[in-house]
Amino acid sequence: MSSDNFASFYFHQGTNFESYFYLGCNRYQKGYVFRVWAPNADSVLLVGDFTGWDSPLGLSNNSSDGVWELYYETDESLEKQAYKFIIEKNGKRFYKGDPYARFSRGKDDGASLVFTSLDYKWGDAAWLKNRKSILGGRRKNYLGVPVNIYELHLGSFMRNEDGSYLSYRALSDILVPYLKYMGYTHVELLPVMEHPYDGSWGYQVCAFYAPTSRFGDPDDFRFLIDSLHRAGIGVILDWVPAHFPKDAWGLFEFDGTPLYEYQGSDRMESASWGTRFFDLGREEIQSFLISNALYYLKEFHVDGLRVDAVASMIYLDYDKAPGEWVPNTDGTNENKEGTSFIKKLNKEVFARFPDVLMIAEESAAFGGITRPVHEGGLGFNLKWNMGFANDFYDYVSLDPVFRKYHHKALNFPLMYAFSENYCLPISHDEVVHGKKSFIDKMFGSYEDKFAEARAALLLIMTYPGKKMLFMGTEFAQFREWDFENSLEWFMLDYPKHRAFREYVRALNSFYLSRRELWSYDFSGEGFEWIYPDEAEKNTVAYKRKAGRDELTVIVNLSGSEQYLKIPIKQKSVGLEVLFESSSGASQALSVFSDNGQKYTEIKIDAFSAAIFNEISLTKNYKIKENGYVL
């Protein structure tokens, strides 16, 4: 059997995980070979810059497996020339982009662009070696290392003065030093795969293998990733394997009938999104999607994928009203094809790239999202804690007078904090559609909003779980995120906004420097309540721990100063302030004993938070001045 026959066999078996070398457009001998899967087509034609758009060439279907192919012999390079497939079905013609195209014009046109080169000269060998070595120890995962993610939409982070997009290469000149300065370990990019509609933010993808041409070509995108890696910053891509839009040139009814989507009306479409759901039980779709995930991990060196809308893949009744979906024979609502696909995906990813992140955006309460597949889970590393985000942002929007009735927003997350490996997200979803920006969610006056936002960020950065912050939050942009325009960088001309960014930078630095805040994020060994139930005071106090090292955290989200007595060890003489949200906000008043327990009394101002360390008689501590530790 020839290599092409093997590739075809495994593609139809759902196990060709480099199917982009078989389908699409690839260099072959003295020309190019074009292949497309269209089993229901009556015929398939190729048109393009190199054929003449009015002179189509016919593809042949040499077998019964639905793969059409054409060998185009030429001595000239076709790189970056445009082409489309014409699918003929029942006397109708459909002009389609290549599902495996590595470059695309996108927008309404959707013509594919030949781009066969995969020989970009990378300069990130040290980064990849370090990534592997970090995960080569006893834990062999990201659970015991700091992860602090900056979520970014490339089209609206910053633009040229005339409003046009910055290129991938121009963005690298700005973004790399900025992220390095701010102290982020990773950047997470909203979907960069080619999408026609800007207003989808990239979540309605038509060309899954093609980084969007809005900012340059695929090698320009590689340059951006390479630059980030050389600066020590990891890259996570949002990835959308759940659904795709109904644009005419995309995957929608690709060969004249439903092909990439489910065929039954009970599973085919999302009414809310107006998109089609991938048929995750079909073997060819599994080859397509798993190859796509591995394509970005291998050919673009990305460090992880954040998988969008997992709930829509694992529930039959997702976005369905009663009577619109068909339960399993046992009456359950689990999409078993969906959960099987996700397990297959994660097993294959980690078999090839054990040192990457797979993150689930899963909005329901499906059990075992971050449990390994061999233990019965879905196999992700991390899951966004969307429940925490929703409850906490509701809490900080309340008048402090009423917060005592909603104190569970602060303590309930610790009831389930270790049931999954969570990331605490301040995400793009939380700062649009009338939800207000992070700073503007805070209750009260202009001054109070800044103080509360600083305290809220300190709480998030010291609770168990990895961290993520959406762009613009770091300098307290008041306007909601607007995908059509740049962030309001002019806000940094105002002292309060500039100081807020420096606070976030200092908080990031402190987080990275203290292993208590990340070594045991997903184990009770790393967290201990001191005061979980001070609802009347709108206050919580707790310890973050790593072995014998401990930090004490107090967060006061009330509108008045509060007094707490904090237990300390017998060989300690009090608490020193290591970091606080407002300079001079906390003060140790006295040290005393009560029934054999030693305490120090702490006063903490309204809308303030502080991190303390015990001053031990057995160690020669130098008490630091209050303020940010850089």
Identity of the residue numbered 446: Y
Look at residue 363 in the predicted model and tell me its pLDDT. Answer: 84
pLDDT at residue 183 is higher than 80? yes
Look at residue 629 in the predicted model and tell me its pLDDT. Answer: 27
pLDDT band at 460 (very low <50, low <70, confident <90, very high): very high
From the list 69, 124, 279, 361, the catalytic residue is 361
Mean pLDDT of the chain: 94
**Nearest to 518, CA basis, from 132, 139, 148:** 148
> 314 burial class (0-12, 13-18, 19+ CB within 10 angstroms)?
buried
Look at residue 139 in the predicted model and tell me its pLDDT. Answer: 52
Catalytic residue flag (residue 308): yes
Look at residue 437 in the predicted model and tell me its pLDDT. Answer: 97
Mean predicted confidence (pLDDT) in 433-458:
96
From the list 308, 337, 516, 605, the catalytic residue is 308
CB burial readout 413-430, b (16+ within 10 A) else e: bbeebbebbbbbbbbbbb
577 beta partners:
612
> 137 burial class (0-12, 13-18, 19+ CB within 10 angstroms)?
exposed
Query: With pLDDT > 90 as the criterion, what percentage of the chain qualifies?
Result: 90
**Nearest to 598, CA basis, from 614, 622, 577:** 614
All structural domains of the chain, each given as residue ranges with its CATH number in brackets, are 3-113 (2.60.40.10), 524-616 (2.60.40.1180)
How do 562-568 and 597-604 pair as beta strands?
antiparallel
Catalytic residue flag (residue 284): no
pLDDT tens for each residue of 343-355 = 999 999 999 999 9
pLDDT band at 140 (very low <50, low <70, confident <90, very high): low
pLDDT band at 272 (very low <50, low <70, confident <90, very high): very high
pLDDT tens for each residue of 381-395 = 999 999 999 999 999
Q: How many CB atoms lie within 10 A of CB 290?
A: 24
Cα distance between the two ends of the chain = 63
pTM of this structure:
0.95
How do 357-360 and 382-384 pair as beta strands?
parallel
319 close to 271: Cβ distance less than 8 angstroms: yes
Look at residue 300 in the predicted model and tell me its pLDDT. Answer: 98
Q: How many CB atoms lie within 10 A of CB 560?
A: 11
pLDDT at residue 628 is higher than 50? no
CA 514 – CA 304 distance, rounded (Å): 24
Mean predicted confidence (pLDDT) in 476-499:
97
pLDDT at residue 330 is higher than 70? yes
pLDDT tens for each residue of 190-208 = 999 999 999 999 999 999 9
pLDDT at residue 376 is higher than 50? yes
pLDDT at residue 64 is higher than 90? no
603 beta partners:
563, 587
Q: Which of 133-142, 229-238, 379-388, 621-630 has the lowest mean pLDDT?
A: 621-630
CA 624 – CA 630 distance, rounded (Å): 12
